[in-house]
Amino acid sequence: MSLSDTISAVRKRHFALPVDFALQIWQRIPGPISHNLAKARILRLIFWHLAVDQKPGFYIEFGVAFGHSMKSALLANKFAKSSQLRVPKMERYFFGVDTFEGFKSQNSIDSHPVWNSDAFTKSLQVVKRRFRRFRRVDFFKIDATAFGREDDSEIFRLKKCLNGRTAAIVLFDMDLYEPTARALEWIAPYLQEGTFLLFDEFFAFGGSMERGEVLALQEFIAKHPNWILRDFASYGAGGKCFVLSKKPSQLNSH
């Protein structure tokens, strides 16, 4: 081997060392952390987009778990402003809905090897303590499969809080078909053109379109043909974000 070849080999080896080191660090980051960081990035972009358009509306998430998404949303809204560009901060209400007791579904279609326990759940009291310093945040202990019942006091309280308001962002993080389908239909009256819909496990269940969140969304759009889903972004380990638009009128077609 010539001297120039030896020098080139040494340089390549030295270049590979920092790359290998970075990969060792990056690939050791736990999956849930990398996913939540990707979701935080998307929420930052969405809240900035809403602030630029000065689009009003509340933020609501179905499936709170530890509250990581809620914390990301609150911080994203806080910093979605720019004095230089004259984009003022928008005041919003934030609502979190969860059983705070684990996954709930009686539908056999929702059988899953991981999403079947309380491993993803924190108690309501613990989550509330995490957000005790934040204003305009409220949590509701609701089993989403109960949406549609009139005798649930927490559903009644949530409905009262949402009265007269529209949704800017709706995050579905219940992973399963049945609770997602029920929550989608329940929140329908509060949707507006420009509402962002996030589905945190959109590509779950081995890619099947006949299970999980993707099935719930397909059925919802079939029931509400006046809405069009516009693809906004994918994120993390299987999350998907859409923005709602109204179907153009035939009279406005060219």
- Spatial strand order of the sheet with 167-172 comes to 137-141, 94-98, 58-62, 167-172, 196-199, 239-246, 227-235
Please name the amino acid found at residue 225. P
For residue 52, the enclosing domain spans 31-252
Residue 112 CB-half CA count within 13 A: 22
Give the per-residue SS3 of 15-81: HHHHHHHHHHHHHCCCHHHHHHHHHHHHHHHHHHHHHHHCCCCEEEEECCCCCHHHHHHHHHHHCCC
Do the domain assignments include residue 17?
A: no
> What CATH number is given to the structural domain containing 112?
3.40.50.150
* Residue 120, Cβ density class (10 Å: 0-12 exposed, 13-18 middle, ≥19 buried): middle
* Residue 149, Cβ density class (10 Å: 0-12 exposed, 13-18 middle, ≥19 buried): exposed
Q: Quote the number of domains for the chain.
A: 1
Task: Point out the residues of the chain with pLDDT beneath 70.
Answer: 1-15, 115-119, 250-254
Do the domain assignments include residue 172?
A: yes
Do the domain assignments include residue 13?
A: no
Do the domain assignments include residue 98?
A: yes
Do the domain assignments include residue 23?
A: no
Please name the amino acid found at residue 193. E
pLDDT of residue 148: 80
Q: Is 44 left (phi over 0), alpha (psi -120 to 50) or beta?
A: alpha
Instruction: List beta partners, residue 192.
Output: none
Do the domain assignments include residue 3?
A: no
Cα distances (angstroms) measured from residue 41 to each of 46, 187, 236, 242: 9, 25, 10, 15
pLDDT of residue 251: 42
Do the domain assignments include residue 92?
A: yes
pLDDT of residue 76: 97
Do the domain assignments include residue 6?
A: no
